[in-house]
Amino acid sequence: MADLSVNERRRDSRDFLSALVRSGVAVGVSDFVFASVANGLINHRTPIRVFQGVASVPFGRGALNGGTRTFLLGVAIHFCVAFFWSAVYLLLTRGVPALGRLVQTPGGALAFAGVYGPIIWLVMTFIVIPAFLHRPPTISAIWWVNLFGHIPFIVLPMVWASGDGRGARQ
């Protein structure tokens, strides 16, 4: 009986890690495209400038002039954040049975995304980023686009890539 428990834990760990990799990559790619397009259309910024901006949060304004190196650093930070929020999602939906059941249906997944997406954006813009920059966020058009964009471009890919929302998980 103890062997079965160990084997189950190993399988659960592998399933969690597999879902985390799928989810983190899907969110990172989806949000990369979303951030690049939204910032390009609204703020007339190139993807290079957008992700240099990401790098500038922890490394300072000099990252805005760091060329390819700080662009790639910004992309790496961006993917770390995608993996972090994907891990939180997986812990929530695997640890709280009602949430796990909720995301199994398209309507439930959309409802979850409608709450979790804005929470991610609010935590990032009012807690995480200001902790580095020592100033409050600027609420602008792109801020609002990001708030609502986190629903379809961050959380829904999270749900899809993790295998949720398709009845794939028990």
- Note the pLDDT of residue 4: 57
- The answer as to whether 143 is a domain residue is yes
How high does pLDDT run on average in the chain?
92
Give the range of the structural domain holding residue 26, as residue numbers without chain letter: 2-161
- Note the pLDDT of residue 169: 45
Number of domains in the chain: 1
The pTM for the full model equals 0.90
- Phi, psi (degrees; rounded to nearest 5) at 103: -75, 0
Q: How far apart are CA 161 and CA 24, in angstroms?
A: 8
- Nearest CA-CA partner of 30 in 170, 157, 164, 162: 157
- The answer as to whether 81 is a domain residue is yes
Q: How far apart are CA 141 and CA 117, in angstroms?
A: 17
Average pLDDT over residues 63-84: 98
> 92: which 2 tokens?
């929530």
Average pLDDT over residues 144-154: 98
- The answer as to whether 87 is a domain residue is yes
Between the alpha carbon of residue 114 and those of residues 15, 108, 133, 150, the distances in Å are 26, 10, 28, 8
4-24 pLDDT, tens digit each: 577 666 777 789 999 999 999
- The answer as to whether 125 is a domain residue is yes
